[in-house]
Structure 1
Amino acid sequence: MLVADPHSPDFNTYASVIDLRAFATGRGYTVPADDGECGQMLVQAMDYLEGQQWRGQRSSTSQPLSWPRSGVRFDGVDLPGDSIPQRLVDAQCRLAIESQEIDLTPSVAGGGAVTMERVEGAVTVQYEPGTNKASPSFPWFFSSLRGLVVGGNQIRIERG
Structure 2
Amino acid sequence: MINTDITSGGVNSYASEEDLASFAELRGIELPEKLSPLLIKAMDYLEGLDWAGAKAEPRQPLAWPRVNVILDGHDLPSDEIPRPVITAQCMLAVEAMDGDLLSSVREAAVKTERVEGAVTMTYAVAEGEVFTPSYPAVMAILGGLAGGRGYAINSFAERA
How far does the alpha carbon of each residue in 1:77-103 deviate from its partner, in whole angstroms, 9 at most, with x for none? 000011001111111011000011142
Q: Distance in 2 between matches of 1:124 and 1:147?
A: 36
How far does the alpha carbon of each residue in 1:103-149 deviate from its partner, in whole angstroms, 9 at most, with x for none? 2001047x46x9xxxxxx9886889xxxxx72211121221100100
Q: Distance in 2 between matches of 1:144 and 1:125?
A: 30
Three-state SS of the structure 2 residue aligned to 1:99 is helix
Aligned to 1:25: 25
Structure 1 range deviating more: 79-88 or 100-109: 100-109
RMSD: 2.7
Displacement of 1:62: 1.2
1:84-95 correspondence runs (5 A): 84-95=81-92
How far does the alpha carbon of each residue in 1:25-60 deviate from its partner, in whole angstroms, 9 at most, with x for none? 01111111x2xx210000000000001000000000
Q: Which runs of 5+ in 2 are unaligned?
A: 111-118, 153-160
Cα 1:123–1:70 shift into 2, 3 Å = same
Aligned to 2:9: 9
Q: TM-score, normalised by structure 2?
A: 0.77
Match of 1:103 among 80, 100, 104: 100
Q: Is the 8 A contact 1:106 1:134 kept in 2?
A: no
Aligned to 2:78: 81
Count how many residue pairs are aligned between Structure 1 and Structure 2.
139
Displacement of 1:68: 0.2
Q: Distance in 1 between matches of 2:60 and 2:124?
A: 46
AA in 2 matched with 1:18: E
Q: Is the 8 A contact 2:91 2:138 kept in 1?
A: no
Three-state SS of the structure 2 residue aligned to 1:100 is helix
Q: Distance in 2 between matches of 1:91 and 1:64?
A: 19
Three-state SS of the structure 2 residue aligned to 1:147 is helix
AA in 2 matched with 1:44: K
Higher share of residues assigned strand? 1
Q: Is the 8 A contact 1:104 1:135 kept in 2?
A: no
Q: Is the 8 A contact 1:106 1:135 kept in 2?
A: no
AA in 2 matched with 1:20: L
Q: Is residue 2:143 matched to residue 1:146?
A: yes
